[in-house]
Structure 1
Amino acid sequence: MSSKPTGLNFGLQNLLDEGFEVEVRQQHLLVHSVPYVTSDRELRRGTLVCTFIESAGTLLPPDNHQVWWTGQYPCFASGARIAHIENENNRQELFRGCTIQHRFSNKPEGFSNFSDHYSKMVHYITILQDQAKAIDPNADARTGRVIEPVEGTSVFRYADTASARAEIMMTSSRLGIGRVAIIGLGGTGSYVLDQVAKTPVSEIHLFDGDKFLQHNAFRSPGAAKLEDLAKLIPKSDYFQRIYDAMHRGIVSHPYYLTELNLGELTGFDFIFVCVDNGGTRSMLSQHIQSLSVPFVDVGMNIQLVPDSRKLIGTCRTTLNTPTQKDHFAQYVPMDEVEQDVLYRQNIQVADMNALNAQLAVMKWKQLFGFYADDFNPHNMTFSVNSMSLTRDVLVSPPEP
């Protein structure tokens, strides 16, 4: 960690000024080389770790009074465990390059929480270091070593503090695959982008030849500005500009995919197909299947009941993988059928579009190990009038 001041740092600069071996990485604060005593009464050094969350460039005070520990369980100078700090003993990789062994929970009597990271880390350092000093008076965590920061290559323009706060950084990292394509940025495709842009995917490619019009604003995430609607911006350009504020590597392709340019789908790791035309869907699915790339296809069928003037209908999510694709034609309309005619008549509602997108994104996240998948369905259909979700095509054994 650089020794330069960090502004409103909630104790970080104090740690640096006193010579502690400090590093900030992946929204966590690490204090290295903390001396402690093992159960064999040997002196070792370990690292204390705690969350270090920022918001819009401002560091926040500690969100709890707990810390993680990378070494063996620390003991008194006698070799007995320091039991009053014990909370959890579970070896795990907290984030890439940081494996912890234990979690401690302790605070001075009368404290509700620590006001800054300095007081928090020094509290635990003192507990461990005092026992080490009883064996070697020269044992000290203040090594004076400065760790230079490693420039990150994150796809995010600001840190994913949500995953850090929830302690799921390793789980989230499973979604850090190479390239994802979203074909169609209508009501459903735009909500797919909204979710995928919040994951560590390296590149997100947007394919759509339509303009972003006023009716699109009412079934897309966010709130479009009137002046933007007047510009008739291509959908892919509009959404690329919006989500580039959060996620690097979003690429706009402001045109339709046809037989002439299907080669542009080569090299993707996953594809979302969000089109409303059976013929186009058939062309795309056959080509993607030939590439042996997993993809999700989505579709909606919303109808107006004349007598009641109420809407009924369904949204469908179908997963196709290189090892499970025989079911696809059974569930996915490939021709110019009535369902697609209704879809193109704009009988859509933002909540159904959003739900269709969420189901597709959750299925993608299951495939790559973010969510558990007990039944491994490859087709799901939600009916709004019965408020029911059905799953089909159970695969055994589950795909890796």
Structure 2
Amino acid sequence: MAFYSGFFNSKGLDRTYTAEDFTSYLSSIICNGILDTYGQNFKLTAANSGLGVVLGTGKAWIDGHYFINDSRYVIDLTSYQDESLPRYVAIAIYLDTTESVRSVSLRLFAGTPAENPSLPSIPQDEDHVRLLMYAVRMNPGASRITESDWFDYREDSNVCGYCKCILGKCKVTELMSQMAQLIAEVAENNETIAALSNQVETLQTEVDDIIGGIIEIGTCGDNIHYVLYENGKLLLHGSGATYDYEIGHSPFWENDNIRSLVVSDGITEIGSSVFERCVNMASASFPSTLTTIGERAFFMYTHGGLRELVIPSSVTTLGEKAFVDQDITSVTLPATLTTLGTYIFMGCDQLTTARVECSELPGFCFVSCGRLQNLTLSHNVTKVCSHALNYTPLRTLTYEGSLADWAAVTKQTNWDGNAGDLNGLDKVQCLDGYMEYNDETREWTEVHE
């Protein structure tokens, strides 16, 4: 039969419909995901004690089928803890349409214990579909699970996401009008917040002027002034960009008195070599107005400097060798980054964990990061540049997409650090399998799970 129609009232059982008819219809108008208007959207919290987590109430749609949790549900993960190695346990909503099952349920999928554990694979085919909500890291010897131990994938439309296409609620023109109004209100609120933040920074500066001795004052931009206090805090205030400096000519060059940096709201660019070799600068606070961090801006040469680094989501440009030899232990490259230099984190010997959310992993990015153990590339990544991972101990890379998605990623010469006698990546873990490197053939092969 080539044509179908429905639905109609039955007279004498001349019209019959199955559950599959309804799910097929519903799946055409409701996309898979969590329904954000019901309950707590399956929010995860730590249990009061032990190796447990609590899943909040929620409702989800998956291929026209629904799944509801109408009360808080405790998940005991004790049995998944390995004695000596960490592992990940995935928490997913799982649809099984095989004839013997026919249900949607909450399922746990355990990964393999390893020094650098990968996300567990969750099988998917025409009869099995998953919504991956969380991946919980089970550390050996841990007595509690905290929020820092899990990754939340509810927002990631590649593996879960929220229902965004329930039709018939309003006309498109009305929806667009409402969105435009909301965007205008958000922009106005952001301007208010920015103004208030600037006032707070100004007041704090006045307080420091009163209670703290000033070591040095000066200018480092056309509209940027700086104050260095006895307590080691360096405050930059003003607007626009700092100057670009030649190596060794910044007023902060090799200044051992600087222990922390506060860049005030209104400053948009940190220029070249501004804070080079500030060995005792352990922390830096950046404003939401910052868009550019220039070449060698925080170049260290010898180890020291920043112990923590948060790159604001406003930043679009990171210059070459911007954070060489810093003491940071983790870093995230935000999705807003569009212009990236090479050697950005070269020699950051304390760096163990990194995440790339922008579209490109730049060339020589993590070269000689001698403790790098965990690197995650988001589904946004479309290009991995040359020599990005040379001379690191990293053996497994986690990619938050499918094997097909990974195949579409552009990979430049020696992207994996395996050229010549180098010992680079062995594995790229994807959502539906992994890529495995063969040292003898020097080729990558797919392994589906």
TM bucket normalised to smaller: under 0.3
Q: TM-score, normalised by structure 1?
A: 0.26
More helix by share: 1
